[in-house]
Homo-oligomer: A and B are copies of this chain.
């Protein structure tokens, strides 16, 4: 798939807001009939624009009230050390996001836990035990000012 037209971009905007909209309703919002609408959606999926459809939960409701941002520095920076760190992070369910950064710190992690006690256990029993790990700096998230999952779709 090469270039998105206006209709494709509108589909992405609508589905980013509501993934469970029916094809019929989607088509009516586009001013199209259902068959071409469905075909466009399928094409956006198969060409990798849409990677999935997910339910969004309220973390507090599922007992994940503590959010932390954690700056991590490795104690060495060989290819293998970084690879090993990546693989370790992959297996830690508490880590929702992890970015490799330029600057003083190597990585920043977003970690969710039930409470601060569980976070402490996570650090002591899991994070601090990674042998590539240098030092960490934890910051408590006092409030989530913004957390949008919708990418702005540019005109081209």
Contact = CB atoms under 8 A, between A and B. Distances in A.
B101 A147 contact: no
Contact of A19 (B53, B58, B114, B147): B53
Interface in A35-65: 47-59, 61-64
A106 to B, nearest CB: 9
Given A89-B146, A145-B86, A58 B48 contact: yes
A14 to B, nearest CB: 9
Given A18-B53, A102-B139, A62 B146 contact: no
Most B-side CB within 10 Å, residue of A12, A62, A94: A62
Size category of the A interface is 35 or more
B49 A152 contact: no
Contacts of A103: 137, 139-140
Contacts of A141: 99-101
A15 B151 contact: no
Nearest to A90: B146
Interface string A87-119: 001100111111111110101100010100000
A90 B146 CA distance: 7
6 contacts: A19-B55, A96-B151, A97-B146, A99-B143, A105-B139, A112-B151
Interface of A: 4, 12, 15-20, 47-59, 61-64, 67, 69, 85-86, 89-90, 93-103, 105, 107-108, 112, 114, 137, 139-154, 156
